[in-house]
Amino acid sequence: MVVRIEPSILSADFSAFAAAVASIPSADLVHCDVMDNHFVPNLTFGLPMVRRLVETSALPLDVHLMIDDPDRWAPGYAEAGAHTVTFHAEAAHEPIATARAIRRAGARAGIAVKPTTDVRPYLAALAEFDQVLVMTVEPGFGGQSFMAGLMDKVGEVRAAIGDRDVWLQVDGGIGADTIATAAAAGADTFVAGSAVFGQEDPDAAVRHLRALASA
């Protein structure tokens, strides 16, 4: 299994994003949490910041949209140069059309589900998506505790993916004490915030997490 580690820029120093990205050369992508204070009760940054990150980052960006009306906004993040644009099933009115628009704009299309959302209605449409994100905390804030009870859902998605080229991502509470559990359930792409940027050597933390998941 290919293991991908995506440090979340949400846990980095907002005044020094370029330095934060430069500190994690071993990472596969940079995870960018876009929140609008409507879909989730938090506000981060939007398209102008992502566009600037694309210009300055040596790593590709995985943009996680925790916003209302992703049908309207998601393609713009792909046009800005994001490698992957992931939107929430709960917020999209036309998830398949939105995924297709993201792909037409040049990015991979991901769909995310909250902990309480039934993922099964979307598994029949896996061909439309390049990534499925199973949230392992309620979206909106970093630093929450990993919900181990969601590993059955992760396993269900893994079984549905089979040999398709679809990444299975988990986000929330991922660290040295939880990543092996998520990997054993079938996840291959891991978002880690404070477990990377909260460490003295962020890149060493990335390598350690990769080793734990690979094992």
Identify whether 33 is a catalytic site residue.
Answer: yes
- Confirm if 35 and 73 have CB atoms less than 8 A apart: no
Q: Specify the DSSP class assigned to residue 188.
A: -
Looking up tokens 């859902």 gives 153
What gap in Å lies between CA 113 and CA 169, rounded to an integer?
A: 11
C-alpha of 105 from chain center: 19
- Closest alpha carbon to 80 in 119, 120, 106, 51: 51
3-state secondary structure of 84: strand
Residue tagged active-site, from 33, 36, 62, 130: 33
Residue 208 contacts by C-beta under 8 Å, 6 or more apart in sequence? 176
The one catalytic residue in 28, 36, 62, 171 is: 171
Contact 64, 91 (CB under 8 A): no
Residues annotated as catalytic (active site), given as ranges: 33, 171
